[in-house]
Amino acid sequence: MGTVILTICLEWPYDSLWFKMQGLCQDYAILIQFTRIYWNTRKGYGDETHQRLFDVERPRRDHNSNSGSMRLFQFSPNCYTFILVLGSFIHIFGNVYVTLWYYKTHAYLLLSFSYCITFPIYCYYVYLDTHSVATPPTQKYVILPDNGKLKVILVVLSSIFLSFLSARISLIIESHANNDN
């Protein structure tokens, strides 16, 4: 309700900037959380090569078979969770770019292009998550970060700060662009 009320009460372009800023808060929080998941999973698994996940729909051959071929389509959990970080980074890049250059058409094209990349990346993660199995004795899991009150507060404050920073830089860029014209 607060977002809607502020959007209605603010004058142009501050209403759209406020609306954009609250969306950026969510995007920054997602990027921070996915990065935390990646680092915790990386720390939990380490660089152990025996921790592998396999796609059950793709052919797989063992190293011990007589054909001498290797296992196909295997990936480590570190790469598996990095997909989330990559997708959220591409999306936040497009979203911040359109925030900074609000009146430029190419910024909106870049934002649309970032959607075209980000959501298939997320879909690929879901595909990997639902179609992969771990080889014994490992199990397939993602190590979630600690969500104590202090860490949640830090993520929220960081998201708000980064969103305000993006909006403030946008205002500076637009004021310089208007002064040049």
Backbone angles phi, psi at 141, to 5 degrees: -155, 160
Spatial CB neighbours of 22, under 8 Å, sequence gap ≥ 6: 3, 163
User: Whole-model pTM?
Assistant: 0.78
Spatial CB neighbours of 20, under 8 Å, sequence gap ≥ 6: 98, 99, 102, 167
Residue 84: exposed, middle, or buried by beta-carbon count in 10 A (0-12, 13-18, 19+)? buried
Which of residues 157 and 49 earns the better pLDDT score? 157
Q: How confident is the model at residue 133 (pLDDT cuts 50, 70, 90)?
A: low
Q: Collapsing DSSP states into helix, strand and coil, what is residue 54?
A: strand
Average pLDDT over residues 17-38: 91
Tokens of 87: 């997708």
Which of residues 110 and 62 earns the better pLDDT score? 110
Spatial CA neighbour of 132 closest among 70, 64, 79, 87 = 79
Q: What is the pLDDT of residue 10?
A: 86
Spatial CA neighbour of 70 closest among 79, 55, 80, 60 = 60
Spatial CA neighbour of 167 closest among 6, 5, 36, 1 = 6
Q: Collapsing DSSP states into helix, strand and coil, what is residue 134?
A: strand
> Any idea where the domains of the chain sit in the sequence?
20-56+72-180
Average pLDDT over residues 154-179: 89
Is residue 34 predicted with pLDDT exceeding 90? yes
The whole-angstrom separation of Cα 57 and Cα 61 is 13
Average pLDDT over residues 102-127: 91
Average pLDDT over residues 112-125: 93
Q: What is the pLDDT of residue 68?
A: 39
Spatial CB neighbours of 88, under 8 Å, sequence gap ≥ 6: 27, 30, 31, 34, 118
Q: Strands of 10-155 (E only): list them.
A: 53-55, 74-75, 132-134
Least confident stretch, 21-25, 128-132, 155-159: 128-132
Which of residues 121 and 15 earns the better pLDDT score? 121
